[in-house]
Amino acid sequence: MVGMTRAHMTDPHIVRKIIERREDDIRPCVGANYCLDRIYQGGAAYCIHNAATGRETTMPHDIARAPTRRKVVIVGAGPAGLEAARVAGERGHEVVVLEATNHPGGQIRLTAQNVRRKEMIGIIDWRMSQCERLGVTFKFNTWAEPATVQAEDPDVVIVATGGMPRTDVLREGNELVVSTWDIISGDVKPGLNVLIFDDAGDHAALQAAEVIAQAGGKVEIMTPDRSFSPEVMSMNLVPYMRSLQKLDVKFTVTYRLASVHRDDKGLVAIVGSDYGGIRNEQRHDQVVVNHGTIPMDDLYFELKPMSSNLGALDYDDLIGGTKQSRKSNPEGTFQLFRIGDAVSARNTHAAIYDALRLVKDL
């Protein structure tokens, strides 16, 4: 039992499901150590992909059936969208998921590129199996436009389109940099002398650094903060550091990348400091920026005028655990909500929690 504490946090019904020979229904622990990291930081022991654990007074492990069956259209099959689809399916609704790519997963697919974190794909695989059991319809390779959504004749639309890397953070030379996603996905070949400017402090910078260094590149990670990677807590930071220090990755704190320009010898990075009085030049052949994501919310704003609630969330209903009741537009034909990185940049747990706390009452 001690050895399976995390497994029981991920699925508290694990023993009952084994007894009932429902092993395939068990929500798997993916070894993210989000729970342990939070404990060591003095926080509550939340599971990265079961947002009900630790919130049992307000969030259900077993989803109740809705009194009225409705049609729910979800745009995006990342962790937020898939959790919304799963919970809506458990509620008994007719659920359709529209996804622009040919596979589910969103940013989790980038995370799982790291061999130490490959089990994170279980977050997606489990939800896909649950959605199959619940009869959720998936339409892949479908770019959702307002007309695409309206053609489904939905009662509820949930925009879970995620975000894209934000790299336009410099005074000059934004067109000369690449994102951590470009490196992790393999879309851009790693350089030989690389500066990673990390203004987000999450896994992506460390993961990209490992990819570049393992390919033989010299890497410096620079942050304007007084400590690096504050979003990567101790249990996850240790294996990163064991790897990156062996690869001679350099960490520089309290310095900010101001601009980048090109000359006949390559890229010149102008480095300053939030504390003032500093202007240094560094030469690199590649500059990578990690500054979080910017919401892909165009569809949401296009759908707002067509919705009965004008895309607004009633926070009293959300906090009270009651059905969303806001009706601001009598001519609207569906309720509209957005969750996850389509609202603002957040981590996997927060995106899944977004979906659970909204959809459990729809």
Can you give the CATH number for the domain in which 210 is found?
3.50.50.60
The residue ranges of the chain whose pLDDT is under 50 are none
What's the confidence (pLDDT) of residue 224? 97
Q: Are residues 269 and 286 in the same domain?
A: yes
Q: List pLDDT tens digits, range 225-238.
A: 999 999 999 899 99
Q: Residue 231 CA to chain centroid, in angstroms?
A: 13
Domain C-terminal end among 291, 314, 346: 291
Domain C-terminal end among 34, 62, 90: 62
Cα–Cα nearest to 289, from 246, 258, 266 = 258
What's the confidence (pLDDT) of residue 317? 95
What's the confidence (pLDDT) of residue 329? 97
What's the confidence (pLDDT) of residue 2? 77
Q: Are residues 139 and 248 in the same domain?
A: no
The total number of structural domains in the chain stands at 3
Domain C-terminal end among 263, 291, 319: 291
Phi and psi at residue 58, to the nearest 5°:
-125, -25
* Residue 38: domain span: 1-62
Q: Are residues 179 and 233 in the same domain?
A: yes
What's the confidence (pLDDT) of residue 42? 83
Please, which contacts does 270-277 make with residues 24 or more away whose CB atoms are closer than 8 Å? 271/222, 273/224, 274/224
**DSSP notation for 279-314:** -EEEEESEEEEE--EEE--HHHHHHGGGBTTTT---
pTM higher than the cut 0.85: yes
What's the confidence (pLDDT) of residue 109? 95
**8 Å CB contact between 111 and 120:** yes
| Beta-carbon contacts of residue 76 (< 8 Å; ≥ 6 apart) | 97, 98, 99, 100, 106, 159, 160, 161, 162, 340, 342
Q: Are residues 267 and 303 in the same domain?
A: no
Q: Is the dihedral of CA 16, 20, 23, 27 positive or negative?
A: negative
Q: Are residues 25 and 43 in the same domain?
A: yes
